[in-house]
Each structure stands twice: as C-alpha cells, then as structure tokens.
Chain A
Amino acid sequence: MTPHLADTPVLETDRLVLRAPGAQDWPGFNAMMASERSRFIRPGDLDEGQIWRSFGHVIGHWVMRGWGLFTITARGDDTALGMAGPWFPAGWPEPEIGWSLWQPDAEGKGYAFEAATATRGFAYDVLEWDSAVSYIAPDNTRSIALAERLGARPDPAAAYPGDTPCVVYRHPAPDSLADGGMEAYA
C-alpha cells in the first residue's frame, strides 16, 4: 500500500471540499510555482527540484505539526484549485492562515475567502488557536483585499518571517467572530 496522509480532516463549505494535499496535486502546484502567480509567496525563481521539495514539505508539514494546508477543490471535482489553511514551518514567528489559488479561472468567485474562512474556523475551533496572522507581500493587493475582507488588520508590531519585509495581517480573535467560523463547514 502506498503511504498517504491518514486521519486528516475534510472540511466542506457550500461550494468547496477542503482535503489534505496528496501526490495528485503536484502538477497544479508545480505549474503555479513556476509561473508569475507565485511571485508573492516564493523567495525568487525556483527550479523544479526546489518546487518539488517545497511541495513535499507542504505534505510533510501535516506529519510534523499534525495539521497543515488544505487542498481546495470544488464539490464533485477533486482537481486542486489552490491551497488554504494553517501553516507554521520553521522560521515563522507565529502560526499563519495562508492561501493560494493556482489558476486565473479560479479567481473572482470568492473561493479563497470561503476556504480561508473555513480553515481559520478549523484553526480556532479544532486546533484551539487563540490568534492567527497572515504574512502578505506589500504589493500583493489581491491578498491584502482578501485579508481585509476576512476582518484582518495590519499589526505593525508583529514579527515577520525572514528578511524580506511583509505586512503582518492579524485576524480577528476567535471570540470576536460572531459565528466562530465552525458553522462554515459543520
């Protein structure tokens, strides 16, 4: 039997199924990371070997932390549209809610908002986080707009990973979210 991530949660929203990442997500991840779409979430140009290692560590993060990024899929179609969820590799000052959409045609539909809301609810309600941030490049206007829509606000006092300055968006605390987020996938 091929080893695979077992006992991982599946989150369901109105339109999406969020599941643990697997080998089947590699082509979409590779295409996204090799394209300009990833310019805000990578340190520079990456060769395929580096992208592969990055993909492997997205999966391994689940074993290291017990949780990680979920693959975003539309109901009825297992194709990866992107990833969203809790993210805390070495070097991160605090746990993050991250997101990415991998193809232009997945944009503009509110998928990232739906996925980020559901995974933030998971982080608060199941993982019992009492705070969450998103690290966003200053010129990544679309992600900044999404962070604002999620109720997050810049936290100038918070540390960011690495040496390249980014904006730290602080999400509303769990008790200040009216629905707690849990209902989004209950």
Chain B
Amino acid sequence: MTALSIPVLKTRRLVLRGPEPEDYPDFKATFTSYRARFMGGPLNAYESWMLYAAEIGHWAIRGFGMWMIHDRQTDETYGMAGGWKPAKWPEAEIAWVIWPSAAGNGIALEATHAARDHFYRHCGWQTAVSYIDPKNLDSIRLAERLGAKKDHDAPSIDGNDAVYRHPTPAQLSGTQLAHGIEMEIGHYADPLFKPKGWALD
C-alpha cells in the first residue's frame, strides 16, 4: 500500500490526518460547488480530482500540507486545514476549508489553531500568512479570531487576494491572545457555553 507518513494531530473534538482516497467524495462535493468560489472553484470533476491528488503530493514535495479534518468520535470529515505553498506562493500559507454542512461549530478555528501550533512548534515556522479573497468575509473573520492582521506590505499571490499575517510563535506562547483562542474553542466544544450569533466557520 502506497502511503505518505503524514503526522496525525488530535484536538479536543477533532483528528487531523493526511488526505486519504476514501475522503475524496467529500472534498469533491465542496470543490465542485459554489462554496469553492473563493478557492479557485467551482472545479469540474477532473480538476477537483487533480487538486485533491495535488494536496497529497504537496506533502511529499514540501514536507507539509493540508490535513483532512475528522470528527474524533465518528471519523466523519468536516473540511481541511493546514499549510499550503504551491509554486508562485510568496510565503507559506495557513489555509482552511469547511464543508458547508459542518459550518457554524468552530471547527475551522480549532483545526487551524492546531495546525499552526504544529508548524510553529515542530516545523520551525517563524511566521505565516493567509491569502484571502476580500469578499470572503467568513474567512477574514476567522483569520482575525486566530489573531491574524492584514499585512498591507506583504506580496499577494496575484493582486486579487488580501494577505493576513498570523501572530508569531512568541505572540501565541502563553499570551492573552492564545488563551482567548483556546477559550473560544472550548466554548464551541462545550454546548453549555456555546456563544450565540457569530459562529461562521
């Protein structure tokens, strides 16, 4: 069996694993839909398969990549999160996508926070950006909840995207910002304390 040795990350509610062939239909459903309009889509069936295979290949080429987000209990997939740096990307990006059916539960926040933590602690990253379509308000809001701020000086991919700069490892180490993110994730994870009104991811 051909495989890539991709690390597995666990969070309170989620398990992040490398993209596997059996998860492809879930990916295809989102990337061939209008939901993918801020991510180069909607794609046709061939483009979607090619991108999914390329997400796997990215791990072999760069040594990091995008994880598939699974429910820790049921193994159901919710989306993807991780690092992304194909050709022509000015810097390594932290990226995420949540299936429409899973939105509203803070899953992207929890997964992306864990992925960023992994890159900072284990891969030596000192900084990271997210390239976001200015019309993608949900993702901009998530970038801000992760502590990222718009970086007007950083080069964008092609001029059509806004660059959000993530906090540094030091800014996320035992700080009020880090505690705030973890507290928000905790609130989503615990229905008793689920915040009302603004859970977009």
Interface residues of A (CB under 8 A from B): 1-8, 20, 22-23, 26, 30, 47-49, 51-67, 89-91, 162
Complex contact A56–B88 (CB within 8 A): no
B61 close to A53 (CB less than 8 A)? no
Whether A64 lies near B86 (C-beta < 8 A) is: no
Q: A7-B2, A64-B24 are in contact. Are A56 and B45 (CB under 8 A)?
A: no
Chain A proximity of B24: nearest CB distance (Å): 7
The stretch among B52-60, B102-110, B187-195 that forms the contact with chain A is: B52-60
Interface residues of B in 63-77 (CB under 8 A from A): 63, 65
In the complex formed, the residue of A with least CB distance to B55 is: A60
Given that A3-B18, A61-B53 are contacting pairs, would A51 and B63 also be in contact in the complex, using a CB cutoff of 8 Å? no
Q: Which of B5, B18, B21, B87 contacts A49 (CB 8 A)?
A: B87
Partner of B88, one of A8, A47, A65, A162: A47
A-B contact pairs, 26 of them (CB 8 A): A2-B60, A3-B5, A5-B60, A6-B3, A20-B2, A23-B61, A49-B87, A52-B88, A53-B86, A56-B58, A57-B51, A58-B53, A58-B57, A60-B53, A60-B54, A60-B56, A63-B2, A63-B19, A63-B53, A63-B56, A65-B21, A67-B2, A89-B46, A90-B48, A90-B50, A91-B49
Residues from chain A with a CB closer than 8 A to the CB of B4 are 3-6, 63
Q: Are A57 and B50 in contact (CB under 8 A)?
A: yes
Choice from B1, B3, B21, B57 contacting A57 with Cβ under 8 Å: B57
